[in-house]
Amino acid sequence: MAAKSQTAYLCGACGAEHRQWQGRCSACGEWNSLSRLRLAAALPAAGLGGEAAVVRKLSEVHTEAADRLPTGFAELDRVLGGGLVPGAVVLIGGDPGAGKSTLLLQVCAAVATQHPALYVTGEESLEQLALRSARLGLAAAPLEAVAETRAEVIAGLIEQRRPRLVVLDSVQVMQLESVEGTPGSVGQVRETAAYFTRLAKAGGVVVVLVGHVTKEGNLAGPKVLEHMIDCFLMLDSPAGSRYRTLRGFKNRFGAVNELGVFAMTGRGMREVVNPSAIFLQRGDLEAPGSVATVIWEGTRPILVEIQALVNPVQGGHSSRVAVGLDQQRLAMHLAVLQRHCGVQLGDQDVFANVVGGLRIAETGADLALLLAVLSSFRNRPLPKHLIVFGELGLTGEVRPVPNGQERLREARKHGFKAAIIPYANRPPQVIEGMAVHGVKGLGAALDAVASL
């Protein structure tokens, strides 16, 4: 093996590797983000040894599609694209307290009923883990655990016990002796993850890495690991809510647009199999600035309430703040509103929010957002039983969205009696008990609102 450069400098922001220290990362432009990574003469081979590379016909390579491990949670399996793939490395990120350890302990226990599974905790003692496991009602599961942070020792345990699933909680506390740097440093995180990735591939074992990732992403996390891991999932805990959402950001074995929903209960994480209306908890009062919409998340519709507040500016510049929505789309909508409806909001602060802490990434909520803004500005509430969806174009046209019929059906199921939707999404047949207004443009949408 050719001698490798012994010292490298890693950027904590983008993970780029440099030969020399620089004040500013030339790859991503971040200042002061480089830290030194020193490797020992020979990196441990993680079970790969000196095996020769083998070239084989792909058709003859045994694929283990059928061998995916179910996690015990249909919601998690769906986000993963059908369970855990042998040899895969999965990173689960989330704020402290989101429920990562709880969820993974439950997953380990479920897998352990079929296959050997190992839970490695570097953050809690075994006693604490046992207490938690008892509280979760998992005491009877044949689950094995160890409190350990030394990567080489963990590799030895994996070699010896041959588990099918290993959870490392968390990657930020794991340490490779042969790498300089404290646990959690960019170098340590990157090298431990690389070490366990080699181990996963060589042994066909699923490795789940837990990562504490702040919203700003300033902990060594997905950016550094992005290239080596197979799946990156984020567990989000909307403030004040007992619901948790799990979303895939990278998945080599499935789609990334699936949303899994869980509830944190007194006995751990429970999956919410039909989450369509959990984010929609509205009182009976009709208030200006509130509009319900149906978004499409992966394979299912979810009803959410969008709220807007429009207030005269109190000196200085006007603010435009969007929470759970794209700030730039909000600015765009305000421009459309001005141009096509003559509504001037230059001297108004505009705030928009998705109730329940959900983040909307699709454009189907455009029309609802705009009507919420208008409703607040005019101080006129819209009826509670109204559902609105549709994408808005810069020319003021209302464009169709995918899965229009399913969205309408879901809204009807939850008692909505009127809908303002894109013309092209009109249902082929009359929906009993629901007045559907199909509109081609913003003007028609406002007429429909006035006619309610």
Q: Which does 300 bind (CB under 5 to 8 A by kind): Mg ion, ligand TYD, none?
A: none
Is the Cα torsion angle 192, 194, 200, 203 positive or negative in sign?
A: negative
CA angle 304, 357, 286 (to 5 degrees): 45
- Residue 106 interacts with Mg ion (CB under 5 A): yes or no: no
Stretch of residues binding Mg ion (CB under 5 A), selected from 95-103, 241-249, 310-318, 431-439: 95-103
Residues within the interface to ligand TYD (CB under 6 A): 94, 96-102, 132, 135-136, 264, 266-268
Q: Which does 98 bind (CB under 5 to 8 A by kind): ligand TYD, Mg ion, none?
A: ligand TYD
Q: Which residues contact 31 (CB under 8 A, 6 or more apart)?
A: 23, 24, 25
Q: Which two tokens stand for residue 364?
A: 């189907």
Q: What are phi and psi of 291, to 5 degrees?
A: -140, 135
Q: Which does 149 bind (CB under 5 to 8 A by kind): ligand TYD, Mg ion, none?
A: none
- Residue 290 interacts with Mg ion (CB under 5 A): yes or no: no
**Least distance CB 90 / ligand TYD (angstroms):** 15
Query: What is the CB neighbour count within 10 angstroms for residue 311?
Result: 13
Q: Out of 33, 101, 353, 425, point to the residue binding Mg ion (CB under 5 A).
A: 101
Stretch of residues binding Mg ion (CB under 5 A), selected from 93-101, 308-316, 391-399, 401-409: 93-101
Whichever of 225 and 264 has its CB closer to ligand TYD, that residue is 264
HSE-up (13 A, CA, CB side) for residue 152: 7
Q: Which does 99 bind (CB under 5 to 8 A by kind): ligand TYD, Mg ion, none?
A: ligand TYD
**Least distance CB 323 / ligand TYD (angstroms):** 22
- Residue 102 interacts with Mg ion (CB under 5 A): yes or no: no
Stretch of residues binding Mg ion (CB under 5 A), selected from 99-107, 317-325, 326-334, 395-403: 99-107
**Least distance CB 451 / ligand TYD (angstroms):** 47
Whichever of 211 and 422 has its CB closer to Mg ion, that residue is 211
Nearest to 388 by CA among 329, 306, 288, 443: 306
**Least distance CB 210 / Mg ion (angstroms):** 6
- DSSP output for 64-99: -GGGPBP-S-HHHHHHHTSSBPTT-EEEEEE-TTSS
**Least distance CB 99 / ligand TYD (angstroms):** 4
**Least distance CB 123 / ligand TYD (angstroms):** 8
Q: How far is the C-alpha of 239 from the C-alpha of 54, rounded, in Å?
A: 51
Whichever of 158 and 264 has its CB closer to ligand TYD, that residue is 264
Residue type present at position 106: Q
**Least distance CB 204 / ligand TYD (angstroms):** 27
- Residue 348 interacts with Mg ion (CB under 5 A): yes or no: no
Query: Do you know the residue count of the chain?
Result: 452
Q: Exposed/middle/buried for 400, CB within 10 Å: 0-12, 13-18, 19+?
A: middle
Q: Which does 266 bind (CB under 5 to 8 A by kind): Mg ion, ligand TYD, none?
A: ligand TYD
Contacts 24+ apart (CB under 8 A), 15-21: 15/186, 15/190, 15/223, 15/224, 15/225, 15/226, 15/227
Angle, helices 327-341 vs 366-378, to 10°: value is: 60
Q: Which residues contact 238 (CB under 8 A, 6 or more apart)?
A: 245, 356, 357, 358
Q: How far is the C-alpha of 389 from the C-alpha of 394, rounded, in Å?
A: 16
Q: Which residues contact 142 (CB under 8 A, 6 or more apart)?
A: 112, 113
Whichever of 93 and 441 has its CB closer to Mg ion, that residue is 93
Q: Which does 404 bind (CB under 5 to 8 A by kind): ligand TYD, Mg ion, none?
A: none
**Least distance CB 111 / ligand TYD (angstroms):** 17
Please count the residues of this chain forming the interface with Mg ion, following the rule CB under 5 A: 1
- Residue 149 interacts with Mg ion (CB under 5 A): yes or no: no
Question: Sheet harboring 117-121: ordered strands across?
Answer: 144-147, 117-121, 165-169, 206-212, 89-94, 231-236, 243-251, 259-265, 268-271
Query: Quick one: how far is CA 396 from the chain centroid?
Result: 32
Question: What sections of 309-441 are H helices per DSSP?
Answer: 327-341, 366-378, 404-413
Whichever of 218 and 311 has its CB closer to ligand TYD, that residue is 218
**Least distance CB 272 / ligand TYD (angstroms):** 15
- Residue 172 interacts with Mg ion (CB under 5 A): yes or no: no
Q: Which two tokens stand for residue 249?
A: 């950001």
**Least distance CB 236 / ligand TYD (angstroms):** 11
Stretch of residues binding Mg ion (CB under 5 A), selected from 31-39, 97-105, 113-121, 280-288: 97-105
Whichever of 101 and 172 has its CB closer to Mg ion, that residue is 101
Whichever of 101 and 307 has its CB closer to Mg ion, that residue is 101
Site residues, Mg ion (CB under 5 A): 101
